Amino acid sequence: MPKLAEPAKKKSSILALVVAPLISLSIILFADLDPGNPQVTYCFAIALLMAAWWITEAIPLAVTALLPVALFPLLGVVDGKTVSSMYFNHLIFLFIGGFLMAFAMERWNLHRRIALKILILFGISPGRILLGFMLATSFLSMWMSNTATAMMMVPIALSIIMKLEESLGKKKMGKYAIGLLLGIAYSSSIGGISTLVGTPPNPLLVSVVDIMFPEMPEISFADWLIFALPVTVLIFIIAWLLLYFMYKPKKSWEKLQIDDFKKEHKALGKMKTEERIVLALFSILAFLWIFRSGFSIQSFVIPGWSQLFENPSYINDGTVAIFISSILFMIPSRSQKGERIMDWETTRKMPWGIILLFGGGFALAEGFVESGLSVWFGQQMAGLADVQPIVITFVDVALMSFLTELTSNVASTEMILPILAGLATTIKINPLLLMIPATLAASLAFMLPVATPPNAIIFGTKRIKVKDMVRTGFLLNLAGIIIATLIMYFWGTVVFDIDVSVFPDWAAAAIK
């Protein structure tokens, strides 16, 4: 962010630190949102406090996420044992296992080798270089943190940009460098949409739905991939076309050689044994995730490998992630005697703050359910019952997309999903019609540096101005909103077996 924005941000944080608790306390003492059920008011006050502190970062995000552990039991919203258990569930372990695999890839430089290999395959024209970078970034962000992916790809891009400027001159390069860096930021977010481990809002959806609608069929890794991959592909194509035509050089390049990429790749040397092992385990992990519960789209059914076990329902994606990532700590390294493929020292990079943030979202969702606040919110918006579901979905996606430009997509998702669940049960439509597109929209934030970590990373190169991000990102936001809405109605309803006109039994069972 620009330096002038920091003092303003600091002042708002200090103000929120004092004002937000006073507002929440006033609500607890003087408001009565649902006569006869004070827990609704208490949960609302806590949620408001958490939202204010998340948005302003008055205290660290992870610390705000821990507030339910103290406040829910004290105010009688949820008992301490239940709320504490929300911070470590199977989805938390799914992310831990995913992080461990990503750390192993980074430790042995496998991620860089994959990226450069993809770039070599795509050639050296401006369009192909952009496509190569975006494909490499998107693929890696499907399995790795989008932040880590962007941080890995940006140095490679900057080295290529500098070589291009040396051989072609800055004038001939034009604004191409801007488009290339934007392509990395956008691809980091777009690729993450397609898998449950690619971006934080996706597993948040699965956990919140599981808490609020315990009888709903599971959304598996494979289900999400089948549904979300078309969204990723369509937005990816639009992003590439948009960036290419907005930032392509005015004149063709003659001096650039594909050897620039080959030298980068050659400098890595031959693939080490450790890299081969990590690649093999990574491939096995992806295979086991995709085929665990099988595929079922109408009459087309492929049984999953979990059916080979006596209790297939006991096995989830977190089980697989921890099992495969644990093997990394057992296999000895050949190049570093006495070491293993993974060591505990490397795991110190584990982003426990993000993991606690997930837990806070799960705990907040539990509070919404137990207190009845989600139903209360839905009742306040009961007037939307006469509006077409697709219109409600479009508005919901648009609001979420632009809200995420200013706030953490994790915090936005944590606050909005329980409200949408309550709205859906009140107006009697399938909750997934609102909750899934909103989750997608949380990753469709392309306009501002503060919207996502990848946006902030490329802005930090000082090669991009905010106006460049806004004018390109706004168009991509609009495209993403339309695609997310339409794919949900014309493909998501098939994948998740949704009848738009029917209120499902599993949702009705959750109404208290």
Given a cut of 80, is residue 146 above it in pLDDT? no
Domain boundaries, the chain: 1-85
Given a cut of 70, is residue 363 above it in pLDDT? yes
* Coil, strand or helix at 340: strand
Residues 6+ away with beta carbon under 8 Å from 368: 43, 47, 212, 374, 418, 419, 421, 422
Can you tell me the distance from the alpha carbon of 365 to that of 212, in angstroms, rounded to the nearest whole number?
7
Reported as a pLDDT band with limits 50, 70 and 90, residue 458 is confident
Given a cut of 90, is residue 94 above it in pLDDT? no
Among 148, 158, 162, CA closest to 100: 148
Higher pLDDT, 324 or 405: 324
What is residue 3's predicted lDDT score, i.e. its pLDDT?
41
What is residue 75's predicted lDDT score, i.e. its pLDDT?
94
Given a cut of 70, is residue 274 above it in pLDDT? yes
Can you tell me the distance from the alpha carbon of 193 to that of 175, in angstroms, rounded to the nearest whole number?
28
Q: Residue 365: which H helix or E strand, with range?
A: helix 352-371
pTM of structure: 0.69
Per residue in 485-508, pLDDT (tens digit) is: 999 989 998 988 888 888 888 888
Given a cut of 60, is residue 128 above it in pLDDT? yes
Can you tell me the distance from the alpha carbon of 91 to that of 134, in angstroms, rounded to the nearest whole number?
28
Reported as a pLDDT band with limits 50, 70 and 90, residue 235 is very high
Given a cut of 80, is residue 123 above it in pLDDT? no
Higher pLDDT, 512 or 341: 341
What is residue 5's predicted lDDT score, i.e. its pLDDT?
46
Higher pLDDT, 148 or 392: 392
Given a cut of 80, is residue 78 above it in pLDDT? yes
Higher pLDDT, 477 or 317: 477
Q: DSSP labels for 451-508?
A: TSHHHHHHHTTTS--HHHHHHHHHHHHHHHHHHHHHHIIIIIHHHTT--TT---HHHH
Residues 6+ away with beta carbon under 8 Å from 324: 97, 101, 281, 284, 285, 288
9-18, 57-66, 394-403, 489-498: least confidently modelled range: 9-18
What is residue 385's predicted lDDT score, i.e. its pLDDT?
66
What is residue 412's predicted lDDT score, i.e. its pLDDT?
73
Q: What phi and psi values does residue 269 have, to the nearest 5 degrees? A: 80, -175
Query: How much is the mean pLDDT over the chain?
Result: 84
Q: Are 235 and 476 in contact (CB under 8 A)?
A: yes
What is residue 1's predicted lDDT score, i.e. its pLDDT?
37
Can you tell me the distance from the alpha carbon of 348 to that of 488, in angstroms, rounded to the nearest whole number?
39
User: How much of the chain, in percent, has pLDDT values that exceed 70?
Assistant: 91
Among 157, 149, 156, CA closest to 106: 149
Angle at 32 between CA 28 and CA 34, to 5 degrees: 125
Residues 6+ away with beta carbon under 8 Å from 261: 116, 119, 120, 124, 160
Higher pLDDT, 473 or 349: 473
What is residue 9's predicted lDDT score, i.e. its pLDDT?
58
Per residue in 28-56, pLDDT (tens digit) is: 999 999 898 999 999 999 989 988 887 77
Given a cut of 70, is residue 122 above it in pLDDT? yes
What is residue 93's predicted lDDT score, i.e. its pLDDT?
85
How much is the average pLDDT of 346-362? 81
Given a cut of 80, is residue 438 above it in pLDDT? yes
231-240, 244-253, 272-281: least confidently modelled range: 244-253
